[in-house]
Amino acid sequence: MRLALFQPDIPQNLGAAIRLAACLGVPLEVIEPCGFPLSDAAIRRAAMDYAAIADVRRHPGWADFRDDRGRTGRLVLFTTQAARPFQTFEFRPDDVLLFGRESAGVPEAVHEAADARLFIPLAPGARSLNVVTAAAMALSRALSVTDGFPSPARTG
């Protein structure tokens, strides 16, 4: 399982996504350009004390991400333009869960490249969730049905 963010706009959301991915043991892929300056040092700052356990991979653009030969699995796009709710989808352990820009989602080429397009049902009148909240919901469902949650840490 992997989490991917397409050209994130908000640095705080990237920091929260790094923490989410690190805590769940899921690699995070960041597809640039971002809506803010991004460097390896900025990622370490955003990750705070999770930098040591975070697995973050940067891609200079969509084409680089799409052509990455090291990745397997389906590209599962979360979008308000989907017709299928995420809770009915049969996730696989090697799926890549992709979330778009906070301000604009993803372009049509990304929609076309996706193996599946899913949405998270919202109450009537609700417009959207924060991208990291949506990612947490999606990862929780996907890891649960694939038995992919990390083993609980034992203390004491």
Q: Does the residue 152 lie in any domain?
A: no
Is residue 93 domain-resident? Answer: yes
Write the CA distances from 144 to 19, 47, 67, integer angstroms.
19, 25, 29
E strand intervals along 10-128: 28-31, 56-59, 75-78, 84-85, 96-99, 116-119
Whether 153 is covered by a domain: the verdict is: no
End-to-end CA distance of the chain: 30
For the chain, how many structural domains are there in total?
A: 1
Indicate whether 107 belongs to any domain. Answer: yes
Calculate the CA 109 to chain-centre distance. 18
Entry pTM: 0.92
The pLDDT score that the predictor gives to residue 92 is 98
**What CATH number corresponds to the domain at position 126?**
3.40.1280.10
Q: Which domain holds residue 95?
A: 2-145
The tens place of each residue's pLDDT in the chain, 156 residues long, gives 999 999 999 988 999 999 999 999 999 999 999 988 877 777 777 667 787 889 999 999 999 999 986 778 999 999 999 999 999 999 999 999 999 999 999 999 999 999 999 999 999 999 999 999 999 999 999 999 999 999 886 555
Q: Which helix (H) or strand (E) holds 5?
A: strand 2-6
| Non-local CB neighbours of 84 within 8 Å, separated by 6+ positions | 116, 117, 118, 119
* Nearest residue to 131 via CA among 30, 2, 8, 1: 8
